[in-house]
Amino acid sequence: MLTPEDIDRLESFDGGDAWVLSAYLDLDAARRIKRSYLIAFEDLIKGVRGELAEPARDDLARESAHVRAWLEDQEPRGKGLALISCSPKHFWQAHFLAVPVREHLAFERRPDVAPLLELVDEYERYAVARVDKKEARLFSVFLGEIEEIKALEDPLVPTKHDQGGLSQANFQRHHETHVDRLLKRAARSLTELHRRRRFDRLILAGPDEATTALRRLLPRPLASLLVAVVPAKGDASDAEILNATLEVERRVEREAEDRLLKELLDLAGPGGRASLGVVPTLDALWADLVQTLVVADGAHADGSECINCGRLELGTVATCPACGKTMASLHDVFHRAMGRAREQAASVEVVHGAAARRLQETGVGLGAFLRYRWGVTG
């Protein structure tokens, strides 16, 4: 399973004088049967080769042969593959993913982590508490994979069959006491989970009476993360819980993106706390002013990066306008901007659907919330 720590290691790796191959492959079930993803890999290599000068083409041939040999020896699984390789520096990461990934290949001096950042933004970590009056099961979901963290039950919860001489009223109070104890344990366990493995959202699943009771017991920090309550049978499988909650997560993510873009447009302007447009946003990124970079899904443009000061520019620029040093070409300045933002401890948000179209129309696909007011205009 891919972890945030894996992405951090990728972001911090610099090939220096060596080239880094970043490959993202679609492993749809139909492509796995005939291993047609191998053909797709070759097509991606051919596309990149045509953009490289002769010495780099030889490096690409060697690196791609190494990756191809690994691919041919592996049994594919999941829906996608992210693979980063730099043989001269003995660097290698390969991750089979439970979610689909947009097919892409880059051959540059640093790993292209933008596709992973987009996935992490789209499939944020969230927690699910599946509860009823007899048990509570707590799950963590990240990048389309579900993991059961803890199962709780109270073996002393009485049933009508073992109430013995208790009156109906006494039995009811006795039963409610045990259920309350179980749900309080669930609330404490969720708090502990959030402390150990922070999640962005919380979903409760189960019958209405149990989820309503647990909701009242949630401490304020957890209550603020609650985005939905969904029905779920007591014998629901992990896969059923995952499918039901992923649908909720997608809806909530789109709604959050719409709100984010509205705020960005409201704050953008002279002296505002946001930039809008590629050029002003790249300027703000170079000045280390970006708090949250906002990118439209599918936005793409060639660019250049200064090998000395790190300035990013649209298109092919030979000499850095800031320091006068040589600039290296980039296959996608949007991708590099996403990586640069993370290097500066800024967050990255990728917006989709209507929000992406609006950002393309108003800012050519790029904008940012700034750390403080600055003279950046669209």
Report the candidate in 100, 145, 122 with the shortest Cα–Cα distance to residue 243: 145
> What is residue 144's predicted lDDT score, i.e. its pLDDT?
92
Question: How many angstroms separate the CA atoms of 11 and 244, rounded?
Answer: 33
Residue 377 scores a pLDDT above 80 = no
Number of domains in the chain: 3
Q: List, for residues 329-369, the tens digit of each pLDDT value.
A: 999 999 999 999 999 999 999 999 999 999 999 999 999 99
Q: In what order do the strands lie in the sheet with 327-330?
A: 312-314, 303-306, 327-330
Residue 119 falls within a domain, yes or no? Answer: no
Question: Is there a single domain that holds both residue 43 and residue 108?
Answer: yes
Question: Is there a single domain that holds both residue 357 and residue 293?
Answer: yes
Residue 182 falls within a domain, yes or no? Answer: yes
Burial of 342 (0-12, 13-18, 19+ CB in 10 A): buried
Tell me the C-alpha to C-alpha distance, in Å, between residue 122 and each of 1, 92, 96. Answer: 16, 25, 17
Question: Is there a single domain that holds both residue 103 and residue 45?
Answer: yes
Final residue of a structural domain among 256, 283, 311: 256
> What is residue 376's predicted lDDT score, i.e. its pLDDT?
44
Question: Is there a single domain that holds both residue 239 and residue 281?
Answer: no
The number of residues in the chain equals 378
**Residue 273's CATH number:** 3.30.1330.30
Final residue of a structural domain among 230, 256, 282: 256
> What is residue 178's predicted lDDT score, i.e. its pLDDT?
72
> What is residue 160's predicted lDDT score, i.e. its pLDDT?
52
Q: How many helices (H) and strands (E) does the chain have?
A: 12, 16
Instruction: Please state the rounded mean pLDDT for residues 2-15.
Output: 88
Residue 262 falls within a domain, yes or no? Answer: no
> What is residue 374's predicted lDDT score, i.e. its pLDDT?
65
Question: How many angstroms separate the CA atoms of 328 and 326, rounded?
Answer: 7
Question: Is there a single domain that holds both residue 366 and residue 275?
Answer: yes
Report the candidate in 222, 283, 260 with the shortest Cα–Cα distance to residue 369: 260
**Residue 178's CATH number:** 3.30.420.60
Average pLDDT, the chain: 91
Sequential DSSP letters for 242-304: HHHHHHHHHHHHHHHHHHHHHHHHHHBSTT-SEEESHHHHHHHHHTT-EEEEEEETT----EE
Q: List, for residues 241-289, the tens digit of each pLDDT value.
A: 999 999 999 999 999 999 999 999 999 977 789 999 999 999 999 999 9
Residue 137 falls within a domain, yes or no? Answer: yes
Question: Is there a single domain that holds both residue 202 and residue 306?
Answer: no
Residue 125 makes CB contacts below 8 A (sequence gap 6+) with: 140, 141, 142, 197, 198, 199, 200
In the block, tokens 């493995």 appear at: 197
Instruction: Please state the rounded mean pLDDT for residues 192-214.
Output: 95
Residue 25 falls within a domain, yes or no? Answer: yes
Question: Is there a single domain that holds both residue 290 and residue 355?
Answer: yes
Name the residue range of residue 351's domain.
268-370
